[in-house]
Amino acid sequence: MKKSLTPLCKKLGYHFNDPSRILLALTHRSFGGQNNERLEFLGDSIVNFVIAEELFSRFQEAKEGQLSRLRARLVRGATLAEIAKEFGLGDYLRLGSGELKSGGFRRESILADALEAIIGAMYLDGGMEACRQCVLQWFESRLDQLTLEDTQKDPKTRLQEFLQSRQEALPQYDVISIEGEAHAQTFTIECNVSMLQDKTIGIGSSRRGAEQQAARKALEHLGVDKANG
C-alpha cells in the first residue's frame, strides 16, 4: 500500500507492533486474497463487550433492557461508520476496482466493518487492555451524552405496540421511491396507519431509517410523541 498508515495510527491512538495486522484490517474482500472478515468477526465481539462493560459501570440503576438498547445505539453500523469517517478511514481502505468505482470507500457498511476489523487487529497486536483504552477513547463523547432517556424503544416498535394495545391493524410501510447511486441512495417511505386519515412520509439514507422517521411522524400525529420528536 503506497499511502503511509502513520497518520491513521496517530488518529486511532495506537501504534501497531505488527503493521501487517492493520493492513489486513483495511483489506476488503473485493481486493482479493486475504481480507478483514475474520478480524471483523473478532472486533465485533470485542466492541460489544467493551461498551457493555462500560455501560454496566456507568448506569448502575439501569435494567438489562435499557443497557441493551444503549449498547445497540452505540455499536450499530451507522455509529461505527461515523467514527470511521472521523478517522478518514475511507482513504486507507484496500478495495477492488469495482468497489472503488462504485464509491465503496464511502459506504457505511464497509467503513463500519473495517473499524471492527481494526479493533480485532488491535486486540491481537496489543492485548485487551490496550484495545479497551482505544475503544473507550473513540466512544467517549458519545458515552458522555447518553442518558437513560435514550433507552426508549425505537419508533417502529412503539407504533406497533401502541396499535396492538388498541387492537388496531399493524402499520403498513411502502417504498415510494429510491433515488441516487447504489452507494448513496435516498429512500422515501410511506406509512399507512388505520387510525390516521393521512399517511406519513419518511426519508432516509436506508430503508430502515426512512421507516423509523415515518413511524415517528405517525406517533406524533397520534399524540403518543411530542411534536419535537
- Residue 1 has a pLDDT of 44
Co-location of 137 and 45 in the same domain: yes
In the set 54, 99, 108, 116, the catalytic residue is 116
Question: Does residue 227 lie within any of the structural domains?
Answer: no
Domain end among 148, 165, 184: 148
Question: 133 or 148: whose pLDDT is higher?
Answer: 133
pTM for this model (two decimals): 0.69
- Residue 205 has a pLDDT of 85
Co-location of 132 and 191 in the same domain: no
Domain end among 148, 173, 192: 148
Label residue 226 by pLDDT band (50, 70, 90). low
With beta carbons less than 8 A apart as the criterion, state whether 90 and 106 touch.
yes
Domain end among 148, 173, 194: 148
Q: What is the CATH classification number for the domain harbouring 195?
A: 3.30.160.20
pLDDT digits (tens, 9 = 90+) for 101-132: 888 888 889 999 999 999 999 999 999 999 99
With beta carbons less than 8 A apart as the criterion, state whether 66 and 56 touch.
no
Q: What is the CATH classification number for the domain harbouring 132?
A: 1.10.1520.10
pLDDT digits (tens, 9 = 90+) for 155-200: 898 899 899 999 999 999 999 999 987 667 899 999 999 999 999 9
Question: Does residue 1 lie within any of the structural domains?
Answer: no
150 is catalytic: no
Q: Look-up: residue for cell 438489562?
A: 64
Co-location of 85 and 125 in the same domain: yes
Asked if residue 116 belongs to a known ligand binding site, the reply is: yes
Residue 204: strand pairing partners: 187
Asked if residue 150 belongs to a known ligand binding site, the reply is: no
Co-location of 74 and 176 in the same domain: no
In the set 44, 99, 108, 125, the catalytic residue is 44
- Residue 185 has a pLDDT of 82
Number of domains in the chain: 2
Co-location of 16 and 38 in the same domain: yes
Question: Does residue 38 lie within any of the structural domains?
Answer: yes
Co-location of 182 and 125 in the same domain: no
Question: Does residue 228 lie within any of the structural domains?
Answer: no
- Domain of residue 166, residue span: 155-222
18 is catalytic: no
pLDDT at 22 over 90: yes
C-alpha–C-alpha distance, residues 60 and 67, integer Å? 10
Co-location of 68 and 178 in the same domain: no
